[in-house]
Amino acid sequence: MEGTEAVGTKVRGKMKKPIVIICVALVLAGSALALTMTMDQGSWPRSWPKELDRLRKSSRTIDVSTHLRQTVHILEFESKESFEQAWPALSTVLTRESRIIITTNSVTYGSRMTIKAGVLFFCPPEREGHLVDGVQVKIGAPWPSSARLPLPIGELPDFVMYEKNKWQPHDGRPDRFMYRARIDMVLVCDSATVSTNHIQLADSIKVIGADKDLLRKYGVFGGR
């Protein structure tokens, strides 16, 4: 009997470990879900052009509050006319420091979100402030001069962080939240619906041909 009890205790001990691991995995998965919120309509600010309101129902917004802090607006188009009609309003959302990244293949963003033709806006987080000593600190433009890269560059970086009571370029440290600084656009072209053939691109905005490494920096996969 003593031998049987010893074996039984050993077996029971082994069975407990997977249960603990599974529980931890579930907690971590739940935390990840809580840090990213997807809305099944476009929830961009009311300050954006009113001409875009008609596109809200067919668009999506994703708030990301992981180590990376940003808001992503995804607008898909099913007709060339709809895209070209919306473009003047879409382009006014961008600033002189924005980037337009152009890809000619469909891409995916988030969980199973495939975009064949459309626009993705990557913006500073829109639904949260940065809490410092119980005080909400403003996030977004106009950024203070301390948030810019040192001269002679002087432009906004991809990401900023809040430290020593001021915004400043993110220095790559993993223990500092990364707040997206600019409003950048990924333009997903399929030539039939979305293309650059009949739209005007502002000379002041940098237009970049996408490669997979660049797209991954935005959490976008596929494309070229």
Q: Does residue 102 share a domain with residue 30?
A: no
Which tokens in the block code for residue 58?
């067919």
pLDDT tens readout for residues 187-213:
999 989 999 998 988 888 999 998 888
26 and 121 within one domain: no
Provide the pLDDT confidence category of residue 26 given band limits of 50, 70 and 90: very low
Domain ranges, residue 19: 1-34
User: Predicted confidence band at 132 (pLDDT cuts at 50, 70, 90)?
Assistant: low
Is the bond into 142 cis (omega within 30 degrees of 0)?
A: yes
For residue 142, give both structure tokens: 């106009």
Tell me 143's DSSP state: P
Q: What is the pTM of this model?
A: 0.82
- pLDDT of 202 reads 86
Do 211 and 178 lie in one domain? The reply is yes
- DSSP label at 207? E
Do 51 and 162 lie in one domain? The reply is: yes
- Whether the bond into 18 is cis, omega within 30 of 0: no
**Same domain (yes/no): 157, 69:** yes
Q: Is the pLDDT of residue 20 over 50?
A: no
* Number of domains composing the chain: 2
Q: Residues 83, 185: one domain? A: yes
Q: Nearest CA to 90 among 220, 209, 205, 179? A: 205
Q: Are residues 134 and 205 in the same domain?
A: yes
* Inter-residue contact 181 to 158 (CB < 8 Å): yes
**Do residue 79 and residue 155 come from a single domain?**
yes
Give tens-digit pLDDT for 67-117. Answer: 999 999 999 999 999 999 999 999 999 999 999 999 999 999 976 679 999
143, 188: one domain = yes
Confidence at residue 46, expressed as pLDDT on a 0 to 100 scale: 94
Looking at the fold, whether 27 and 59 belong to one and the same domain comes out as no
Per-residue pLDDT averaged across 123-148, rounded?
A: 85
Domain shared by 9 and 104, yes or no: no
pLDDT category of residue 5 using cuts at 50, 70 and 90: very low
Does 150 share its domain with 218? yes
